[in-house]
Amino acid sequence: MSKIINDNFIAGETVSLADTNAKFSDIETATATINEQNVRSEGVDRRTLKAHTYSTGRMEPLVYMDYFSNGVGTSAGAYNNQSGEAAFPLLNGSPTELDWTGLAGGGVTLTAGDIIRIHFSVFLTKHDDPGYDPAGPDSSSPLNQSDAVGLVFFPMWDIGAGYASITNQVNLNSTVTAPHSFTIDGSTNRTDGVAWVSLEGWSDVNFMYPARMVHGMLCYKHSGANITIEKLRIHGRGPVVYQNTGAVRSIHVPVWGAGRYGNLGLDIPTDHLPNINIYVAAFQMAATVLRGDS
């Protein structure tokens, strides 16, 4: 930033026209180069600067923000034959992702210290296991132990090689064979951005209606080499089970209809089919990228 370095006038000094012009020339030179990028945190922002053409690049401290809603209202899209063994992207309605590939540089670049905040919400309308009960139908069965069964929704990003799990978040997007446990921790297998929704609701002869809106939020502080975020999207997975066995916590994909989930236990699914159909209506996502230590 430019600086005014000529000496101040002092009491009793004779001030010439040249001295005065030099002072104001310095001020004009300095202030003309002040803008929202080179001021950083000195308390000067757009409201205190005279009008000028703002940069289309990185801003201080806001780098970029964006939002979408899939625009379907209460009209649900079906995600059929779900067993929890594979994740599924939310694709009903339009738009269904934040696409930043049209920006300068092909996306939004994160440098070390930058933070991205992701908020999202998903409305689960119904599923086709109308007899679902987390406590099971037979209270006398030794296999009847209430379990935390539900769906998980989570954000994914594309940083140049297709959609992938966000750094240090547990990889819930991989396809597995049941039974399988995704071990979670507070280090490199985190669930910071996971939104959990129960399958409980009210039922008729064909469907169970959870009719729930769930919200998830992830804050990620970047470290290391620069990356460019091209796209963001919401993915889902389930039905799955949250398990906590002593020191080990996991999101578990069981063999549904067998063992404790068979008809002598929790009886999930109650129609004894291997999979269930899930119906999702509205979903939204917002993302804000903030300049950090860079």
Query: In the prediction, which pLDDT does 274 show?
Result: 77
Rounded (10°) CA dihedral 144, 145, 151, 157: -140
In a domain, residue 78? The reply is: yes
Query: In the prediction, which pLDDT does 7 show?
Result: 65
Query: In the prediction, which pLDDT does 291 show?
Result: 87
Name which of 49-53, 185-189, 273-277, 290-294 the model is least confident about: 49-53
Burial-class residue 90 by CB neighbours within 10 Å (0-12, 13-18, 19+).
buried
Number of domains in the chain: 1
Cα–Cα distances (Å) from 269 to 5, 198, 256, in that order, read 78, 14, 7
Burial-class residue 267 by CB neighbours within 10 Å (0-12, 13-18, 19+).
buried
Name which of 2-16, 92-106, 228-242, 270-284 the model is least confident about: 2-16
Cα 105 to its chain centre, rounded Å, is 22
Give tens-digit pLDDT for 66-117.
999 999 888 899 999 999 999 999 999 999 999 999 999 999 999 999 999 9
Gap between the Cα atoms of 261 and 239, Å rounded: 12
CATH assignment of the domain containing 247? 2.60.120.760
Considering only residues 25 and 146, tell me which one the structure prediction assigns the higher pLDDT. 25
Gap between the Cα atoms of 39 and 148, Å rounded: 51
Query: In the prediction, which pLDDT does 6 show?
Result: 62
Q: Which domain holds residue 276?
A: 59-290
- Mean pLDDT, the chain, rounded, equals 85
In a domain, residue 4? The reply is: no
Query: In the prediction, which pLDDT does 215 show?
Result: 97
Q: Are strands 148-158 and 231-245 parallel, antiparallel or unpaired?
A: antiparallel
Give the pLDDT mean for 185-205.
93
Query: In the prediction, which pLDDT does 224 show?
Result: 93
In this model, does residue 34 exceed pLDDT 80?
no
**Which residues are CB-contacts of 13 (< 8 A; sequence separation ≥ 6)?**
none
In this model, does residue 160 exceed pLDDT 90?
yes
Query: In the prediction, which pLDDT does 289 show?
Result: 94
SS3 111: coil
Task: Return the amino acid letter for 285.
Answer: M
In a domain, residue 7? The reply is: no
Gap between the Cα atoms of 99 and 116, Å rounded: 15
**143, 268 Cβ separation under 8 angstroms:** no
Work out the angle at residue 272's Cα, subtended by the Cα atoms of residues 266 and 274, and round it to the nearest 5 degrees.
Answer: 100
Structure tokens that stand for 150 in this block = 């539900």
In a domain, residue 123? The reply is: yes
In a domain, residue 37? The reply is: no
Q: Rg of the Cα trace of the chain? A: 28
In this model, does residue 120 exceed pLDDT 80?
yes
Considering only residues 103 and 270, tell me which one the structure prediction assigns the higher pLDDT. 103
**287, 231 Cβ separation under 8 angstroms:** no
Gap between the Cα atoms of 260 and 172, Å rounded: 24
At 27, phi and psi to the nearest 5? -65, -45
In a domain, residue 18? The reply is: no
